[in-house]
C-alpha cells in the first residue's frame, strides 16, 4: 500500500504515477493533434495553436503550407502576406509577424532547419518553452520539459500535483514527479483528458476515471468563471 499524507492521499509522486497509468489506459493512442510533415511545419503549427484549437489550426495549415512550404518562402514574405492565411487562428498579426521573423532567423543561423536544442528554439521570435517542448518532443523525440498549456495548467492544479499556478513553476514541479521519458506523454494525456472530461467550465466529475485520485472531485460538475484571454506575447 502506498504511503499517504494526513488527508488520505498518496504523495504527489506516487499519485502522479497512478494518474499517468490511468490516463494511459484511457487514451492509449494519444499523440500531438497537430498535422505536420516536417519539423518546420510543426513549429509553425504550434505557434498558431496559441489561444486556438488544434482542430482549427489543422484547417488552416494546408493552404498556408501550400503557399509557404518552407522557411525560405516565409522569410521572403512580409507578415501582411501571411496574415490572411492565419487570420482564423486569432491574434493573426502577431502570429504572422513571429512566423516570418522566426523563418528569417532559421535561415540566418540554422540553414532553414529547426534546431534540436531548447536554447536555440527560445531565440526564435514568439517561441517560449511551451512551443519548444512540443517541437523537441514530437519532431525529435527529445523530452526537454513538460508542455504546460491551459489544460495541463488546469488539471495539474485540480489533481493536486502542483502547488504553483505559474506555467514555468508548474513545469518544474511536474518534471520532478515522473521520469524524463514520460514528460511528453504526461502532457499529451492531460490535454486529452482536459478536452474530453475535465473541462474548464463544467468538468464531468461524475464520469471521471480519476475521481479516486482527485482532491477536487465533486459529485456535481463545477461552474467556474470563463477564463480571460490575454494578448499573445510569447507561446
Residues classed as catalytic: 130, 149
CA 44-143-65 angle, to 5 degrees, is 15
Distance, CA of 155 to CA of 148 (rounded, Å):
10
d(CA 177, CA 204): 25
| Chain CA centroid to CA 93, Å | 21
* Nearest-angstrom CA–CA distance, 41 and 71: 9
Q: Which residues contact 219 (CB under 8 A, 6 or more apart)?
A: 205, 206
Helical H runs in 27-128? Answer: 39-48, 54-67, 71-75, 79-86, 92-110, 118-121
Per the CB < 8 A criterion, the answer to whether 73 and 112 are in contact is no
Residues 6+ apart with CB under 8 A from 187: 133, 146, 147, 148, 149, 152
Closest by CA position to 203, among listed 212, 215, 195, 213: 195
Amino acid at each position: 500500500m502506498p504511503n499517504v499524507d494526513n488527508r488520505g492521499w498518496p504523495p504527489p509522486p506516487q499519485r502522479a504515477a497512478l494518474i499517468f497509468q490511468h490516463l494511459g489506459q484511457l487514451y492509449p493512442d494519444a499523440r500531438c493533434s497537430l498535422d505536420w510533415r516536417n519539423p518546420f511545419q510543426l513549429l509553425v503549427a504550434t505557434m498558431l495553436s496559441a489561444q486556438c484549437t488544434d482542430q482549427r489550426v489543422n484547417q488552416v495549415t494546408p493552404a498556408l503550407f501550400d503557399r509557404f512550404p518552407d522557411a525560405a518562402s516565409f522569410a521572403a514574405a512580409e507578415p501582411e502576406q501571411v496574415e490572411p492565411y492565419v487570420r482564423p487562428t486569432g491574434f493573426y498579426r502577431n502570429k504572422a509577424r513571429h512566423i516570418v521573423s522566426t523563418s528569417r532567423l532559421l535561415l540566418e543561423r540554422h540553414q532553414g532547419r529547426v534546431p534540436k536544442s531548447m536554447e536555440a528554439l527560445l531565440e526564435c521570435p514568439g517561441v517560449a518553452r511551451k512551443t519548444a517542448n512540443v517541437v523537441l518532443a514530437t519532431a525529435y523525440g527529445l523530452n526537454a520539459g513538460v508542455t504546460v498549456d491551459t489544460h495541463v495548467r488546469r488539471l495539474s492544479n485540480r489533481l493536486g500535483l502542483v502547488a504553483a499556478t505559474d506555467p514555468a513553476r508548474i513545469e518544474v514541479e511536474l518534471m520532478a514527479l515522473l521520469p524524463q521519458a514520460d514528460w511528453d506523454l504526461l502532457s499529451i494525456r492531460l490535454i486529452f483528458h482536459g478536452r474530453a472530461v475535465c473541462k474548464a467550465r463544467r468538468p464531468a466529475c461524475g464520469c471521471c476515471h480519476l475521481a479516486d485520485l482527485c482532491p477536487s472531485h465533486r459529485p456535481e460538475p463545477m461552474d467556474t468563471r470563463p477564463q480571460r484571454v490575454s494578448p499573445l506575447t510569447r507561446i
